[in-house]
């Protein structure tokens, strides 16, 4: 799982939350680094802030899709209008999450996309 967020507090909080839930998480602090991580790591899911330095979230999603990326991309933003959602969908995002992100909403998203962590197998 990848978090692309320029706000270090938000990035670290999301990463810690997902790691506590048992997910392997990597992070990037700007658009170019995020795009490179998507290409290099091919994560199952990327949570991408729309207001990134260097390459905004819309451009990142469009470039990832143009390059054939199959990673599920979810926009992460404080804006919640229909026009914002439409722009994100046109850029190639699979979903749209509004900040502040509720942990229960994030967990439901992961379950809906088959990304809930699997419990460790117990030896008998």
Cβ–Cβ under 8 Å, residues 51 and 77: yes
Confidence (pLDDT) at 118: 57
Cβ–Cβ under 8 Å, residues 40 and 69: no
Q: What are phi and psi of 5, to 5 degrees?
A: -150, 130
Domain boundaries, the chain: 2-101
Rounded Cα–Cα distance for residues 39 and 113 (Å)? 20
Predicted model pTM? 0.91
Confidence (pLDDT) at 124: 47
- Tell me: the pLDDT tens digits for 4-13? 999 999 999 9
- Tell me: the pLDDT tens digits for 56-113? 999 999 999 999 999 999 999 999 999 999 999 999 999 999 999 988 988 888 889 8
Q: What percent of the chain has pLDDT over 90?
A: 78
- Tell me the CA distances in angstroms from 48 to 35, 119, 121, 122, one per residue in order: 10, 27, 32, 35
Element spanning 108, H or E = helix 103-112
Fold of 2-101: Rossmann fold (3.40.50)
Confidence (pLDDT) at 121: 44
């Amino acid at each position: 799982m990848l978090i692309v967020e320029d706000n270090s507090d938000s990035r670290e909080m999301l990463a810690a939350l997902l790691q506590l839930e048992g997910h392997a998480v990597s992070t990037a602090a700007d658009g170019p680094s995020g795009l490179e991580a998507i290409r290099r790591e091919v994560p199952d899911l990327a949570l991408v802030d729309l207001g990134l330095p260097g390459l905004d979230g819309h451009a990142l999603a469009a470039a990832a899709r143009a390059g054939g990326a199959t990673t599920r991309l979810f926009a992460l933003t404080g804006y919640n209008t229909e026009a914002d959602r439409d722009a994100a969908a046109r850029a190639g995002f699979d979903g749209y999450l509004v900040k502040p992100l509720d942990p229960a909403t994030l967990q439901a998203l992961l379950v809906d996309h088959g990304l809930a962590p699997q419990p460790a197998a117990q030896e008998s």
